[in-house]
Amino acid sequence: DSSFYFFLCMKRSALLFRRSSLFTSPRYSLGVVPTQQVRWKSVSPATPEGKDEEGNIKPKAGANARGYEKEFFEKFYYLGQSKPGVVELSKTAEEVYKQQKEQIASSRAVGDTTGAGATGKTDETVFSIEGQNYNPLTFLDLEPLKEKYLPEGWPGRIDEYEFQWITRKETMCRESSGVIMRTLNEQRENGFLTSKGAKSLFIDGLNGTGKSIALCHIVLFARAEGWLTLYVPEAFKLVSQYRIKPSKTRKWIYDLHEGASIIMEHFKKAHKDKLATIKMKTSLPRIEELKPFNDSQTKNTTLLDLVDYGITCDNPSEVFVALRNELDAVTEYPVLIAVDDINCLYGNTGFMKPIHLREEKIAWVYGDEISVLRALNRPHKATMVNGTCISALTTGKSIKHFLKDVGEEVFKDARVEIPSYSYLEYYGRVMRYLDSGDLLNSPTVMTEQYIYQVCCARPKHVASYYATLI
């Protein structure tokens, strides 16, 4: 009986395997092109257009004869030459393609490697920093700006999926970021008055569209224009990589000393000169750990003195909370508080409550129960006299608790979306890879179109895909 049962199982498995092989191509069973077969090769000799003996469509002359490209060519033959009956194409998609094709052709004709020649926006300089102009569809080299303007480090995970394999640490200047910068300028000119439209902004968008890069560019803009900017590029680390301790000044609240110390250290590196000119307007809590600073505080004590003490003292969390309250009253410079991954600061964190403070089952600490996070997760309640807040959301965590605390109507009113690449932006990025020598051989038009659609035109996915071609 057991041998017969084993025979039936083997026969059924063989039938299922045969059935799956009939309906699924072995090369595309996972929907991903194998990276081993993706290599830049020299252009093959011209082949006659038309169909072969089996009736399959042949690639155009000069196209690289790669398997995935042939399949893409057969599915989207209209990209090279519209042929009725081969692929049924919607009118909208065809019109968009024709418009983009004309723009690309015009930019290629004048030798424009960024694709900006077809938009006429190259003269719109939003700001300048260290001799570099921020113009849409151009590139900003971040390497010479890191030490002075970005002591917090690279934004997001760009170092993992792009900066590790390209020669120059460049990011594209996009019009969507320029719109936000102009909005901040307008708020500054209007005195940050709510009656004149001043409000906190939330950067949102799909995964990989460049929200963290946009926030980084805005921080560079603010610091280049003389703003006092508190920048937290990776807020998820505050709820996952450090340790908490019960607060000594507030019941049922926890401190995050290491995270507070790191934030203040970066803040000092970026704005040491400005902090030295701003006098303190409040005082620290009267506890034993902060007694040395309280005893030495005078009318001439500056925010630089406060930050210096917070970096080295035993209770940096209380000092950071005091610094955050001081920023609300700063009038010497416009103030910007920029937080990436803002929705990670709401709801459950990665910290468990101490055993003596929780029930028998595991209880997680909420973001509102950590003093440092409470000082950062209130952009919608900003009370700054001369400044505003801007935050970017992450798709790595739910926004349920974020929306519950902020309010859906407030979020919709302050939401700014970062879109995917337009084809001109995508084409400019690819040409930049070629000009800098990161990509040795120029991809065919068919390959460009294939990668653009496979990656859904998202900058992060485009960079990750081209990383496999190097």
pLDDT, tens digit, 9 for 90 and up, residues 264-315: 999 999 999 999 999 998 888 888 888 889 898 898 999 999 999 999 998 9
Residue 404 structure tokens: 């519950």
Mean pLDDT of 71-91: 44
- pLDDT value, residue 284: 87
- Return the amino acid letter for 91: K
pLDDT band, very low/low/confident/very high, at 193 (cuts 50, 70, 90): confident
- pLDDT value, residue 82: 42
- pLDDT value, residue 60: 45
Strands 228-232 and 335-340: parallel
Mean pLDDT of 248-252: 85
| CA distance readout (Å), 51 to 68, 241, 444 | 18, 60, 20
Mean pLDDT of 390-400: 92
- pLDDT value, residue 79: 43
Mean pLDDT of the chain: 79
Taking the CA atoms of 106, 447, 467 and 159 in sequence, report the sign of the dihedral they define: positive
pTM across the whole model: 0.75
Q: DSSP string covering 399-438, please?
A: -HHHHHHH-HHHHHHHEEE-PPPPHHHHHHHHHHHHHTTS
Share of the chain above pLDDT 90, in %: 47
- d(Cα 238, Cα 226) in Å, to the nearest integer? 27
Q: How many CB atoms are located within 10 Å of the residue 247 CB?
A: 21
| CA distance readout (Å), 165 to 107, 144, 175, 227, 329 | 27, 18, 26, 33, 44
Mean pLDDT of 151-163: 89
Per-residue pLDDT of 430-456, as tens digits, reads 999 999 888 888 888 888 888 998 999
Closest CA to 205 of 464, 401, 409, 456: 456
- d(Cα 403, Cα 353) in Å, to the nearest integer? 24
Per-residue pLDDT of 1-15, as tens digits, reads 555 555 565 555 555
What end-to-end distance do the CA atoms of the chain give, in Å? 57
